[in-house]
């Protein structure tokens, strides 16, 4: 399967989930990384109109979890988040934010992913780290 087919399948699997609800789109994948984008709109902002930190955390955990699942035998295993942290570094009030998750450690039982979220100008909006447990289905 080529990369475009894989991306199409990943995005199709997100139907009916929070990922779809927030408008997150997976845009690129590779060995131990995954990228996606999320709109800054009425679904993802605080009442004052700025990107909600929780929405950034959802983008980060979604990218890391999808990436993590791509590294395991998905017939028998899955990954679940056990810890996430997020440092919100710059506010955003419109456009898109772009996330890139890179594996720091892929272990048999634990994975650690670093997620960088930027605005459309490439400025760092949020740095996050996600720890995943690899569990039997």
- Is 61 assigned a catalytic role? yes
Contact residues for 14 (Cβ-Cβ < 8 A; gap 6+): 20, 24, 26
**Other C-beta atoms lying within 10 Å of the C-beta of residue 92:** 24
Dihedral through CA 44, CA 46, CA 48, CA 50, nearest 10?
A: -50
Active-site residue (options: 20, 32, 61, 100) = 61
Whether 31 contacts 3, CB under 8 Å = no
């Amino acid at each position: 399967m080529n990369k475009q087919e894989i991306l199409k399948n990943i995005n199709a699997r997100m139907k009916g989930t929070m990922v779809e609800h927030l408008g997150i789109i997976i845009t690129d994948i590779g060995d131990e990384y995954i990228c996606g984008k999320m709109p800054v709109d009425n679904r993802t902002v605080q009442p004052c109109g700025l990107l909600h930190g929780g929405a950034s955390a959802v983008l980060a955990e979604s990218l890391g979890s999808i990436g993590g699942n791509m590294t395991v035998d998905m017939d028998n295993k899955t990954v679940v988040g056990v810890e996430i942290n997020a440092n919100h570094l710059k506010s955003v009030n419109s456009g898109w934010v772009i996330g890139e998750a890179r594996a720091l450690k892929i272990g048999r039982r634990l994975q650690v992913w670093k997620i960088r979220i930027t605005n459309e100008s490439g400025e760092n909006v949020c740095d996050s780290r996600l720890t995943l447990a690899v569990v039997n289905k």
